[in-house]
Amino acid sequence: QVQLVESGGGLVQPGGSLRLSCLVPSLLFSGNALGWYRQAPGNQRELVARISSFGSTNYADSVKGRFTISRVNVNYTVFLQMNSLKPEDTAVYYCMGFARDSNVFAGDWGPGTQVTVSS
């Protein structure tokens, strides 16, 4: 089992910020894209941000301009900086690898980290 482990979630008021972290097993980190998914109750898991092995990024329309994904190669960590949070951002957030920048998953789902945006 090659599991990615997320952290950094919590309760935040609308308009607030959070930074999520994901520790990626070293064998998954190099040469693979990394992404953040989220799943709200009753909804399917959706991809919100992705960063390629060479740093190119893509975002879901719903988070563009508010979320920023980054990766720190030395620490095998991928971050999701979330600003201007909205109640509809409430979900469990997961990270995942993509083999050789393809759409094929690399790794196993971790427990996720809960983000709740509420006043």
**Phi, psi values for residue 21, rounded to 5°:** -125, 150
Going by DSSP bridges, is the β-strand pair 10-12/113-117 parallel, antiparallel, or unpaired? parallel
Identify the DSSP state of 103.
S
Low-confidence residues in the chain, pLDDT < 50: none
SS3 102: coil
Centre a 10 Å sphere on the Cβ of residue 106 and count the other Cβ atoms it contains. Answer: 21
d(CA 80, CA 39): 15
Please report which residue ranges of the chain form alpha helices under DSSP H.
26-29
pLDDT at 24: 93
